[in-house]
Amino acid sequence: MAKKKSSKSTSNTIALNKKARHEYFLNDKFEAGIELQGWEVKSIRAGKVNISDTYIHLKDGEAFLLGSQIQPLNSASTHVICDPMRYRKLLLNKREIDRLVGATEREGYSLIATAMYWKKCWVKLEFHLAKGKKMHDKRADTKEKDWSREKERLMKHKAR
């Protein structure tokens, strides 16, 4: 007898930072593992995570995730102290950290988290080297997006 496939969703994405593309020019993409506690993994599986105002801080040759919020489950153990806004260490190679330190200190980049997802059984964080946009840059992006949408409508109407 054949086994039925599970009805779980096939998407590996846990959380997205949609504001990042609007607020920053995103350049180089990096992927890092996150050092998590047991209650955090359970909460992530339940989807109680927010990375909308998240960035990475480099200190003493280590990278830390700041501003991410993982809400504890109601059924979390009573002997565990759950801090939803705690600093979480990112797992990166020394060479990657050195490159990031150089870009942030000398070139004025920021490190902005854009996505959190599952890769096999591990939680991974996607982040970018980013430069902040000015107001006129945001307006230009909005104008370009509107024009491409209008262009698609015109081409669709012309094809009929």
Token pair 């990031």 in the structure block, residue: 100
Q: Is 28 helix (H, G, I), strand (E, B) or coil?
A: strand
- The alpha-carbon radius of gyration of the chain (Å, integer) is 20
Q: What is the pLDDT of residues 14-48, one digit of tens each?
A: 999 888 888 888 889 999 999 998 888 888 898 88
pLDDT tens string 53-97: 888 999 999 999 998 888 888 776 667 778 888 899 999 999 999
> pTM here?
0.74
Nearby residues of 44 by Cβ (< 8 Å), 6 or more positions away: 14, 36, 70, 116, 123
What are the structural domains, with CATH classification, of the chain? 13-134 (2.40.280.10)
